Amino acid sequence: MEQLAKDGGTPVRQAPFPGCGDISGRTVGEEEIANLTAVIKSGKLFRHGGVFVERLEADFAAMLGVKHAVACTSGTAALHLAIAAVNPDPGDEIITAPITDMGTIAPIIMQNAIPVFADLEPDTFTLDPASIEANITPRTRAIIPVHLFGQPADMDAIIALAHKHGIKVIEDCCQAYLAEYKGKLVGTIGDIAAFSLQQSKHVTTGDGGITVTNDDELGQHARLFMDKGWARGGEVRDYLYLGINYRMNELTGAVASAQMGKLPEVVANRRRTARMLTKMLLEQAPGVIPPREREGCQHSYWQYPFMIDEQVLGASPREFADAVAAEGIPVGVGYIGRPSYMWAPIREGITYGSSHCPFDCPRASRRMVYREQDCPNTLEILRKITIIYWSEAFSDQDVADIAAGIGKVARHYAARK
């Protein structure tokens, strides 16, 4: 049996993988430089009066087949625009996922609404519709399904619940560019959706975001909120309601505009290599459970998540992941470590001064108590899930090395068991 690298054996891979931690091997290049040069030469770095942010919005809307796309400063801002457009009352509740970035949750609290966490399906890592329904109250204003790692949530069931209870659906697509749910692109299924342009995403400007919708009222509200509620174009300056400055600048728009043309190939490459790895793992790695693509859907593989069968391998997820990492494979276990509702701003209400608002707001109908055991599937997912950094720059050889590293460790532990 081949000796594991952690025990002194030779690692499967010693060269770094492309695109791990920076933009090397990513798609940023001459087109972005040309656009940035054009902006500098124009002297117009502000979105109003420039061309690239408007071009990005038009191209993005056309790509998704939606009426409205509003560019902003980050994925967090894009979600804030979406929630502000839905316009919850203080103390209203918004149901979302317990495995996500703070960028999904902070905008809920910033709009003085209260986050409520439904549990996840154990094999797709997306919201469990039964748990969503169990958490709906008369104060529920919206559901935010997170298409985690690029896996579409169960949108038929979620939309049915939303219609049944008269609430909005805000899709968090920050990790799911061009992911498809039964022939529909994510972001076009709910009422409004948000995308991220942060550096690790399928396309990047370092930071940036886009909010999309087919609803004219939501689209107008999101656009005004992005620009401080400023209704531009009138004879005098006028602000229609409370908003904030989330305007994307022309330099960011220039990079994003160039990136849009590369997106289909980026997603196609990620899908092809991820599916190649899945096939190899099923053939070479006993006890390893690759990600399942939801039936009728297309994953877009922001990251590649897998689990292990501890009974087959006789190892803990942490022990297995550490052994794989020693083989030179870019893996990590647990993703966010603990459910997002256990983070201090949510669990302890560390928000505005000493107020704990909106959690103890007199407009709220109940005092939320967040307990770690409330989402048992989530706890098990976070204990077991192992994440491989994924990139459109991965070659067939890169994938073969990843499969070889995981397979080597899996065979070792299976044989030992």
**Sheet order of strands, 288-289 included:** 288-289, 303-308, 386-389, 331-333
In the chain, what is the greatest distance between 2 CA atoms, to the nearest angstrom?
79
- C-alpha to C-alpha distances, 4 to 96, 283, 405, 413, nearest whole angstrom: 41, 20, 9, 10
- C-alpha to C-alpha distances, 29 to 20, 23, 26, 260, 262, nearest whole angstrom: 17, 10, 9, 13, 11
C-alpha torsion sign, points 27, 28, 31, 32: positive
**Burial profile 263-299: b = 16 or more Cβ within 10 angstroms, e = fewer:** beebbebbbebbbbbbebbeebbbbbbbbebbeebbb
Domain 5-25+264-335+379-416 has CATH 3.90.1150.10: yes
C-alpha to C-alpha distance for 205 and 259, rounded to whole angstroms: 8
Nearby residues of 311 by Cβ (< 8 Å), 6 or more positions away: none
C-alpha torsion sign, points 386, 389, 395, 397: negative
- C-alpha to C-alpha distances, 13 to 22, 73, 276, 284, 408, nearest whole angstrom: 19, 37, 18, 17, 12
pLDDT tens for each residue of 224-257: 999 999 999 888 899 999 999 999 999 999 999 9
**Sheet order of strands, 209-213 included:** 68-72, 209-213, 192-196, 168-172, 140-144, 93-96, 114-117
pLDDT tens over the chain, length 417 residues: 789 999 999 999 999 998 766 666 678 899 999 999 999 999 999 999 999 999 999 999 999 999 999 999 999 999 999 999 999 999 999 999 999 999 999 999 999 999 999 999 999 999 999 999 999 999 999 999 999 999 999 999 999 999 999 999 999 999 999 999 999 999 999 999 999 999 999 999 999 999 999 999 999 999 999 999 999 988 889 999 999 999 999 999 999 999 999 999 999 999 999 999 999 999 999 999 999 999 999 999 999 999 999 999 999 999 999 999 999 999 999 899 999 999 999 999 999 999 999 999 899 988 899 999 999 999 999 999 999 999 999 999 999 999 999 999 999 999 987
pLDDT tens for each residue of 321-353: 999 999 999 999 989 999 999 999 999 999 999
**Residue 139 identity (one-letter amino acid):** R
For the chain, give every domain's residue range: 5-25+264-335+379-416, 30-261
301 phi and psi angles, rounded to 5 deg = 50, 65
Which element (helix H / strand E) includes 406? helix 396-416
C-alpha to C-alpha distance for 78 and 69, rounded to whole angstroms: 10
C-alpha to C-alpha distance for 209 and 206, rounded to whole angstroms: 10
Pick the CATH number of 30-261 from 3.40.640.10, 3.40.50.11890, 2.160.20.10, 1.20.120.1200: 3.40.640.10
